[in-house]
Amino acid sequence: MIEWDDKYSVGISKIDDEHRQFIDIINMAIATKEHKDNPEELREVLYRITKYALNHFSTEENYMIEFNYPEYQYHKEEHHDKRMLNFKRHKKASCGQYHDANNHGFGRGGTHIAQNNLKR
C-alpha cells in the first residue's frame, strides 16, 4: 500500500488534498486486486479512478495556467495520456475483461503513478 509522504507535497493544499485522495483510490485498487479480485469492485474502482482523473487533472491544469507554469503543455499532454489509459482500463472492465484491465497497471502501476506524478 502507498502512504502519503510530505515529499509528494506541491505546496498547494487543494492539490495535496486531491493527491491524498488519489492515493486512497490507488490503495483501494491494490486491495481489490490482491485480496478480492472481484470484477464488480474492480469496475467501481476503475470508475472512481477515471472520474478522479478528469476532475483532478482539470484542477491542476487551471492552477498551471493561473501561475504560468512553464511545463504546462507537457504536463497537459501527460494528463491526456493518463486519461486515455484510464478510459481503456474502464472500457475493458465494462466489457468483462477484468484481468486485462487489472493487468494494465494497478498494483505496481499505482505505486509508479504516485511516485512519478504526485510531485510534479
Domain count of the fold of the chain:
1
Q: Which domain holds residue 36?
A: 9-117
Indicate whether 69 belongs to any domain: yes
Predicted TM-score (pTM) of the model is 0.66
Q: HSE-up of 46 (CA within 13 Å, CB side)?
A: 31
Indicate whether 78 belongs to any domain: yes
Q: HSE-up of 8 (CA within 13 Å, CB side)?
A: 22
* pLDDT tens digits for range 46-102: 788 888 888 988 999 999 999 999 999 999 999 888 888 877 776 776 666 555 444
